[in-house]
Amino acid sequence: MSNIVILLIGLHGSGKSTFAKAVTGADVEISRTGGVIERKQFTIIDTPGLADKNTHEENLEILEQIAHQLGKIGQEHVNGVIYFHSIKNIRLGAVDRANIRILKAMCGEPFFPHVAFVTSHWDRIDHTNFGEQYETINHDLELERRKLLPKGPRIFRFLNDGKSHELVLDHFVNQANIATTVPPQLLFAEELKRYRYERRPSRAVRKTEASKQMAVESKKVGGRSSSCSIL
């Protein structure tokens, strides 16, 4: 089977790099800016964390860094996107919902079935006292996930236990195996090609649907505070 390329997206501290490390099984050094990690059969693209108090310009820079990481893998097709959420965040707040809308703009509808959600930090929570609350957040996320992906189960718990990440990888392998037609391309990657990213990176990124959605979300938040609290 050909190489499977998976892009990791999520808020700062949501567990992307920890997942990437678990996948490689090696003690690789992963910086906050992310990187491309190879393991037999997989290429994992770790991306910089989306912070929740960024200005719109800072958010655009992050989008540019994601584009840069995608550029490193050349013309390879992205097979899947994983959206990370730390279960320690007890509510799926406005910021998370804004991020999910931006994620959707980045993927494009035909790509939605190739998005998985992963929740992290389950080993850090106080199940005895707050177990039910965490089940509620998981349920909320599941509802969002279902809007994106009508068929499941594509929400996984990353338990940081040396094996839970394998279930997620298996999911993408199975999906690649059952694909009968050419799988859809990630809209963001398609747009970067269309707008000639290699020649004018910044301009190309600003023309993407993800960038436009970011601007919409920034305006909404901008009405409430001076700094944008999305992505």
Ligand X SMILES: Nc1nc2c(ncn2[C@@H]2O[C@H](COP(=O)(O)OP(=O)(O)OP(=O)(O)O)[C@@H](O)[C@H]2O)c(=O)[nH]1
Note the residues at the interface with ligand X (CB under 6 A).
10, 12-18, 32, 48-49, 84, 120-121, 123-124, 158, 160
Smallest separation, CB 46 to Mg ion (Å): 6
Smallest separation, CB 92 to ligand X (Å): 17
**Quick one: what does residue 184 bind among Mg ion, ligand X, none, with the CB cut-off 5 to 8 Å set by partner type?**
none
Q: What single-letter amino acid sits at 151?
A: K
Smallest separation, CB 84 to ligand X (Å): 6
Nearest residue (CB) to ligand X, 204 versus 231 = 231
Which residue is closest to Mg ion by CB? 17
CA distances from 21 to 13, 34, 36, 163 (A): 14, 11, 11, 12
Of 70, 75, 83, 77, which Cα lies nearest the Cα of 3?
A: 77
Smallest separation, CB 205 to ligand X (Å): 19
C-alpha–C-alpha distance, residues 201 and 7, integer Å? 19
Nearest residue (CB) to Mg ion, 59 versus 112 = 59
C-alpha–C-alpha distance, residues 141 and 21, integer Å? 24
| Cα three-residue angle 106-102-198, rounded to 5 degrees | 40
**Quick one: what does residue 114 bind among Mg ion, ligand X, none, with the CB cut-off 5 to 8 Å set by partner type?**
none
Nearest residue (CB) to Mg ion, 17 versus 119 = 17
Interface with Mg ion (CB under 5 A), residue from 4, 6, 17, 158: 17
In the complex, the residues that contact Mg ion under the rule CB under 5 A are 16-17
